[in-house]
Chain A
């Protein structure tokens, strides 16, 4: 490493520190402050550390709404991601293995799913007709519908790298189509599956717009909506608002620390091929 690279690196570090890290430090410090201290909005060291108290206060707000929200968000995330994995892989598998005119139709649907913005009110109309509106399982189906295109695309390109000989060997041994898929193919898809689990669960956990539209009601609150509710409620309690931001940021942070590589792989998929 040359001296010049070292110096430029130091300057870049300092700049990145100010631009990208400082807002997080601000969140952390404000979350620790007392109500009065936090209301000044200053970037200072807390006069008193109120970590435990702020934490408990946020939890207790509106009858432990945050705990309920974590529960709801977890159920939606786990349910939707499980379906996105199995259903998405099934479509990608058939799409890659079988060549017919149906393929173009499926492929067209995938592109539509990636580009077209969902029509909000007509979706609510359909959901009401099916009694899915304002229900957790309805929300799960919505997340599946909106996330499928990405899953199918990722699985399809990966399945192309798995030799057909494997399916054929299993078929000759007498395996049924479903057995071939679940016992032979799905286990081999593990790298993409991990990537998809990580990327999709972060997206669904962080989703604000869709629960706002399709899952109104106090009992159905999700994590991002608590933040939004508290924004108006905590006008004068910035310490609690930022404690809530901190708590909402922690799950993605943990996932990021462990799965950094898979996240980047998933998000840059297709970037090189175009």
Chain B
């Protein structure tokens, strides 16, 4: 008997596969080769690991590696901690909590460039609203985005403002999946609210924590537009991250070096995310 063709033919996958392979997979694979070359889009000269060496030798490029990690860790850490606290507060039956959820979430949907420009204005060292308000209560505000040591942290705070809404709604979804029975049992056993939070909420909201940490780490490591809209990596190169270096080297015509930056970013994400995912999954078994 002749085999009947499947009602789910593989050619259904074809349109998606063609686009994804040509515009995503092929460039990704090719990037490993191009990162080993000096490249002007027409001719390539093989130069071995020179591009990578440059990344770990030139202070401005090394600084960007450091900043990338710091930025990702700070944004992801603050988003997961404050996101959970906000989610707990916004599910506790506060007056006006529906409105508050909306207000906290809306910045997620706003253009990053618009947010960047707005905060760059609010953080203006002398005329910006933040420092003017600080001056009114007698404090001398710093140059949030113009101080070389401070700039990257200020941008991370703007990122927190824009992204915390997403962490909060993910946690709210996670909290609503916890059965109220656990809290009732804890109350009967005489657990305080603090104990309930640490012994019931934190362990049981784990899946949401995993999502928030992973998403915001990946997002933080790849972050470009907010930094570009606020400091463009400045002052000097003090707030450059990998993604902004990739763009700057591309603009300057150093395509090989720019691509090496891409490969480093890829490896960095893999090195941070894979063990983390493995660890998260392993811990799940222990529970």
Chain A hits for B132, CB < 8 A: 42-43
A21 to B207 Cα, complex, angstroms: 30
With A167-B7, A260-B102 known to touch, is A245 a contact of B118 (CB < 8 Å)? yes
Q: Is the CB of A23 within 8 A of B19?
A: no
Q: Is the CB of B109 within 8 A of A41?
A: no
A75 to B272 Cα, complex, angstroms: 37
Closest B residue by C-beta to A167: B7
A253-274, CB under 8 A of B: which get 1 and which 0? 1011000100110011011111
A124-162, CB under 8 A of B: which get 1 and which 0? 111110100000000001101110100010000000000
Q: Is the CB of B114 within 8 A of A245?
A: yes
Q: Is the CB of B118 within 8 A of A19?
A: no
Q: Is the CB of A119 within 8 A of B28?
A: yes
With A125-B41, A227-B114 known to touch, is A263 a contact of B27 (CB < 8 Å)? no
Chain A hits for B17, CB < 8 A: 91
With A121-B34, A122-B28 known to touch, is A16 a contact of B12 (CB < 8 Å)? no
Closest B residue by C-beta to A98: B8
Contacting B at CB under 8 A, from A72-113, are 83, 86-88, 90-91, 93-95, 97-98, 102, 106, 109, 112-113
A180 to B7 Cα, complex, angstroms: 8
Q: Is the CB of A118 within 8 A of B28?
A: yes
A272 to B269 Cα, complex, angstroms: 23
Q: Is the CB of A202 within 8 A of B262?
A: no
Q: Is the CB of B94 within 8 A of A5?
A: yes
Q: Is the CB of A268 within 8 A of B109?
A: no
Q: Is the CB of A94 within 8 A of B12?
A: yes
Chain A hits for B100, CB < 8 A: 12-13, 16
Chain B hits for A213, CB < 8 A: 247, 250
Q: Is the CB of B109 within 8 A of A256?
A: yes
Among candidates B13, B218, B225, residue contacting A208 with C-beta atoms closer than 8 Å: B225
* Interface residue tally on A, bucketed by range: 35 or more
Chain B hits for A117, CB < 8 A: 221-222, 243, 262, 265-266, 269
User: Does B259 sit at the interface, judged by CB under 8 A?
Assistant: yes
Chain B hits for A141, CB < 8 A: 19, 23
Chain B hits for A260, CB < 8 A: 102
Closest A residue by C-beta to B102: A260
Chain B hits for A97, CB < 8 A: 8
Closest A residue by C-beta to B175: A272
* Interface residue tally on B, bucketed by range: 35 or more
A152 to B13 Cα, complex, angstroms: 11
What's the least CB distance linking A22 to chain B, in Å?
8
What's the least CB distance linking A181 to chain B, in Å?
7
Chain B hits for A248, CB < 8 A: 111, 114
User: Does B129 sit at the interface, judged by CB under 8 A?
Assistant: yes
B99-142, CB under 8 A of A: which get 1 and which 0? 11011111111111111011101101001110010000000000
Contacting A at CB under 8 A, from B1-30, are 6-10, 12-13, 15-17, 19-20, 22-28, 30
What's the least CB distance linking B104 to chain A, in Å?
6
B54-96, CB under 8 A of A: which get 1 and which 0? 0000000000000000000000000000000000010011111
Q: Is the CB of A8 within 8 A of B104?
A: no
A46-66, CB under 8 A of B: which get 1 and which 0? 000000000000000000000
User: Does A224 sit at the interface, judged by CB under 8 A?
Assistant: yes
Q: Is the CB of A274 within 8 A of B31?
A: no
What's the least CB distance linking B285 to chain A, in Å?
13
User: Does B144 sit at the interface, judged by CB under 8 A?
Assistant: no
Q: Is the CB of A122 within 8 A of B113?
A: no
With A20-B104, A115-B269 known to touch, is A126 a contact of B94 (CB < 8 Å)? no
Among candidates B16, B250, B270, residue contacting A87 with C-beta atoms closer than 8 Å: B16
Closest A residue by C-beta to B178: A272
Chain A hits for B172, CB < 8 A: 268
Q: Is the CB of B8 within 8 A of A94?
A: yes
User: Does B246 sit at the interface, judged by CB under 8 A?
Assistant: yes
What's the least CB distance linking A191 to chain B, in Å?
16
Residue with the highest number of chain B CB atoms closer than 10 Å, among A8, A177, A268: A268
Q: Is the CB of A42 within 8 A of B117?
A: no
What's the least CB distance linking A245 to chain B, in Å?
4
Q: Is the CB of B103 within 8 A of A21?
A: yes
Q: Is the CB of A209 within 8 A of B103?
A: no
Contacting B at CB under 8 A, from A5-33, are 5-6, 8-10, 12-13, 16-17, 19-21, 23, 26-27, 30
Chain B hits for A209, CB < 8 A: 224-225, 243
> Can you pick out 5 interface pairs between chain A and chain B where the beta carbons lie within 8 Å of each other?
A119-B259, A120-B246, A249-B114, A252-B109, A271-B208
Closest 8 CB pairs of A and B: A9-B95, A274-B207, A119-B31, A122-B27, A9-B94, A145-B23, A87-B16, A268-B173
Spell out B's residues near A (CB within 8 Å).
6-10, 12-13, 15-17, 19-20, 22-28, 30-31, 34, 39, 41, 89, 92-97, 99-100, 102-115, 117-119, 121-122, 124, 127-129, 132, 161, 166, 169-170, 172-174, 177, 206-208, 210-212, 218, 221-222, 224-225, 228-229, 243, 246-247, 250, 255, 258-259, 262-263, 265-266, 269-270, 273, 284
Q: A26-B121, A271-B173 are in contact. List 5 more A-B contacts (CB 8 A).
A: A115-B269, A115-B270, A120-B258, A120-B259, A256-B106
